[in-house]
Amino acid sequence: MDIYLASDINNSIIESLTDGTGIRLVIFTCGCIHHCPECQNPKSWDIKNGVRIPVVKVANYIIKKLYEGDFDGITLSGGDPLYQSDAILELLVILKNKIKSLNIWCYTGYLYEEVKNLKAIKYIDTLVDGPFEKDKKFPKKKFRGSWNQRILHLSNGSVVMEE
- Give the chain's domain count: 1
pLDDT tens digit string along 14-57? Answer: 999 999 999 999 999 999 999 888 888 888 899 999 999 999 99
Structural domain span for residue 123:
2-162
pLDDT tens digit string along 71-94? Answer: 999 999 999 999 999 999 999 999
Contact (Cβ atoms closer than 8 angstroms) between residue 151 and residue 144: yes
* Ramachandran bin of 91, using left for φ above 0, alpha for ψ from -120 to 50, beta for the remaining angles: alpha
The helix/strand/coil state of 55 is helix
Position 41 scores a pLDDT of 83
The 8-class DSSP code of residue 62 comes to: H
* Torsion angles phi and psi, residue 19, rounded to 5: -110, 50
What is the reported pTM? 0.95
Position 49 scores a pLDDT of 94
- CATH, residue 55: 3.20.20.70
pLDDT tens digit string along 120-144? Answer: 999 999 999 999 888 888 777 789 8
Residue 56: CB partners within 8 Å, gap ≥ 6? 94
CA distance 118 to 24: 24
Q: Residue 71's closest CA among 143, 13, 139?
A: 13
